[in-house]
Amino acid sequence: MTLIINNDDVAKVLTIEDTIAVLEESYRKLSIGEAVCRPRIDIRIPTSDPDRNYQFGSMEGGSASGYFAVRMKSDIIYEARNGDVVTQEKYCTKPGLFCGLIFLTSVETGEPLAFINDGVLQHMRVAGDGGIGVKYMARKDAKVVGMLGSGGMARDHMASFMAVRNIEKLQVFSPTKANREAFGREMAAKYNIEVQVCDRPGDIYKGADIVAALTDSAIPVLNGALIEKGAHVVNIGGSGLPDQATIDRVDVYLRFGDAPAPIGRPELALDDEYIAWEAGASKRKFGDGRSGKKAHGVALPDKRITLADILSGKTTGRTSRDQITWSERGNLQGAQFYAVAGHVYERAKAQGLGHEIPTELFLQNIRN
């Protein structure tokens, strides 16, 4: 039987600790050639509304340990402005609904094992990366988090930071006062920590050991001039990169790794987080393709280390308390989804969760 696993089921079986563990193992396998993935590929097509475009994104990967997965998402993309804040918005069919699916298969038999809603898993795998970066690059005695954002990504990242460091204080700002205050109360109650809800974004930086921008902004929101010595930076949103002032101040840049080149075509190796094809390429696009910009690759090659470097003992990552460090995944999304989805499938199956449908519905006797 093939399982249909929804977000409620994923939330019941997936912890941030397990997410961090399976991601680390996937990245290790990728570094030694036991796993494989490709960069994310987007297809963008204009709609009848010039302020919106269609975007289909997919990423895939698998390993000799037994699983292969394709993550697919189908979105209408546009941007919204609230004063100086520009956010990337998306929906499927109507605002508030989204279509993101993970198709999980067995590498031993080819069997379609599961279709999994990607909402909860998506947040957890991104937050898991944040936790891995803090685990290896933040100071061991990091206690204070300065955070921009108070939504789902902020919640899951806070869980990941708590999993790898003894956090004692959170300083948080987001544009909507009611949202940041509710988030602050929630985090204080959940983790029994001190929370300072800030009225200005600049207030989150003072004394922060970990600075995290976790927003849906279409433009960078960090202010690198305010980051204090010794801080570790995590950045989500803002088209992938933090502001230039932050980049200029980074001393050590942990990029977990890069997707390998196709077999026999080393010239096709890419470090871009995603690559895209467009219909109506001359027309303005929104979302990740805003203003025709391509995805960034290795941002600071002269300061770059990889997770494989750390795991092999080649480097310790941070080498002094005063260094400002920054971590990001690289274009390894496909390696994330087979690993986390495989873990979710095993746990859901063991607990009798998910909706079973006959695998025969997906099979045929005509050779493809």
Task: Please report the DSSP string for 9-32 in residue order.
Answer: HHHHH--HHHHHHHHHHHHHHHHT
Tokens of 366: 């005509």
Give whole-number Cα distances, 235 to 22, 115, 228, 356, in Å. 21, 29, 16, 38
Tens of pLDDT, residue by residue over 278-300, are 999 888 887 665 555 667 889 99
Q: Which range, of 143-157, 248-262, 268-282, 349-363, averages the lowest pLDDT?
A: 268-282
**Nearest 5 degrees, angle CA 292-CA 147-CA 339?**
70
Tens of pLDDT, residue by residue over 338-361, are 999 999 999 999 999 999 999 999
Tokens of 296: 């960034």
pLDDT at 302: 95
Amino acid letter, 148: L
Whole-structure pTM value: 0.92
> Domain containing 39: what range?
2-122+333-362
pLDDT at 86: 77
Residues across the chain: 368
**37, 65: one domain:** yes
On whether residue 267 sits in a domain, the answer given is: no
**Would the pLDDT of 102 be above 90?**
yes
CATH code at position 20:
3.30.1780.10
Question: Which 8-state DSSP code applies to residue 321?
Answer: T
**215, 344: one domain:** no
**Would the pLDDT of 59 be above 90?**
yes
More confident residue, 220 or 188: 188
Q: What is the mean pLDDT of residues 150-163?
A: 97
**104, 8: one domain:** yes
Residue given tokens 């750390």 in the structure block: 310
Q: How many domains does the chain have?
A: 2
CA distance 103 to 117: 9
**87, 158: one domain:** no
On whether residue 317 sits in a domain, the answer given is: yes
pLDDT-derived band at 217, boundaries 50, 70, 90: confident
Residue 146 DSSP SS3:
strand
Residue 80 backbone phi and psi in degrees, to 5: -125, 145
Tokens of 35: 């796993």
Spatial CB neighbours of 11, under 8 Å, sequence gap ≥ 6: 120
- Say what percent of the chain tops pLDDT 70: 97
**Nearest 5 degrees, angle CA 16-CA 22-CA 23?**
85
pLDDT at 123: 95
